[in-house]
Amino acid sequence: MGNYCYSSTIKNDAVATYKQLLDIYVSSLQAANRSVRTINWYLEILLRFFSFLESQRLLKPIHELGTEELKAYTVHLQNVAKWTNRKYIKEAEGRLSPYSVQGHVRAIKAFFSWLEREEYIEQNLMAKFPLPKVPQYMVKILTIDQIKKLLSILDRHTALGMKYYTILLLLLDTGMRVSELVQIELDDINLVHGYIKIMGKGQKERIVPFCKQTRRELLHYIKHFRPYLGPEDCVYLFPQRDGNCVSISSVQQFIRRLAAKAGLHGMKCSPHIFRHTFASQSIANEANVFTLKNIMGHASLQTTLKYTHMQAGDLKAQHAKFSPVANIIK
């Protein structure tokens, strides 16, 4: 796309321009092998951005859009209600979280960086727009007692109960993403050596080990319960009746209901909290951060390092060792 001429190739009409460029951008993301979910996320955010500009009469030719337009949209996002303009979701009370707002801004800035890189625009006028700040919270994890409670209320004598018992063990023992878990095929599992071959983000394959206790339960599930969950020729570890894999939303909903049944109120219990718990507990048990990065499939070590912040119990134990008062008064 070198020496791309904006005026001669793209129509001057601003609305037509951004729609054409979004089509090209989607094709570019597809060529880069980005997931359908990721592409749809980018596209939805960008369409909402341009729709806002149109509604506020702020839409200009693409090469003229800059920090003022992005600032106006950021302020709009900070005041908009959750789930606004979602066809099948009722508008919720409260505002978008700072993390959601930052995610929108990141996606828009990424698009305009691409426009400049591919020479659709000469200069990215949004490059210097700062990302909105977000609160820095400690990563929330499950306690051992909470995990035991969740596992204990599952009926392991039924196919459904054993299916979700195995799912929770795998999430907790491997730290894998729920999107990775649902796609596991039987051929991906090496029960002899205790690992699963995972296809992660960006189509990056990695090896994820599991312990001997998880191996025992996994083998029990595959041998005695999995045949009742889907067709005989289904390749997935966690099948559905129609032969497809269990859906991400099914796992999410089941865990939410299970948490409510276990009395874990005031905590957002999701598959991802098991990933957080795995990482935090691994760090607390002195896991090597480089090894953990590879197991979890993090693109950056910085992502792994956020789990090095100790939980309250770990801080208290360490404090008891080095406290001046504790060492003076016995």
In this predicted model, what pLDDT tens digit does every residue of 285-304 receive, in sequence order?
Answer: 888 888 888 898 888 887 77
Q: How far apart are the first and last CA of the chain?
A: 73
User: Is the pTM of the predicted complex or chain greater than 0.85?
Assistant: no
Contact 205/198 with Cβ under 8 angstroms?
A: yes
Higher-confidence position of 319 and 231: 231
Structure confidence at residue 284 as a pLDDT band (50, 70, 90)? confident
List of residues 6+ apart from 323 with CB closer than 8 A: none
Contact 134/149 with Cβ under 8 angstroms?
A: no
Pairing of strands 195-199, 205-209: antiparallel
Q: How far apart are CA 207 and CA 297, in angstroms?
A: 9
Q: What is the mean pLDDT of residues 66-95?
A: 76
Q: What is the mean pLDDT of residues 169-195?
A: 94
Structural domain boundaries in the chain: 6-117, 144-318
pLDDT for 309 equals: 63
According to CATH, the topology of domain 6-117 is DNA polymerase; domain 1 (1.10.150)
Q: How many Cα atoms within 13 Å fall on the side-chain side of residue 45?
A: 23
At 219-258, the pLDDT tens digits run 999 999 999 999 989 999 999 999 999 999 999 999 999 9
Fold match, 6-117 / 144-318: no
The amino acid sitting at 59 is L
Structure confidence at residue 312 as a pLDDT band (50, 70, 90)? low
Question: Yes or no: is domain 144-318 CATH 3.90.110.10?
Answer: no
Q: How far apart are CA 274 and CA 110, in angstroms?
A: 30
Q: What is the mean pLDDT of residues 123-142?
A: 86
Q: How many Cα atoms within 13 Å fall on the side-chain side of residue 143?
A: 8
Contacts by residues 297-304 (CB-CB < 8 Å, ≥ 24 positions apart):
297/176, 297/177, 297/180, 297/198, 297/200, 297/201, 297/204, 297/206, 299/201, 299/202, 304/279
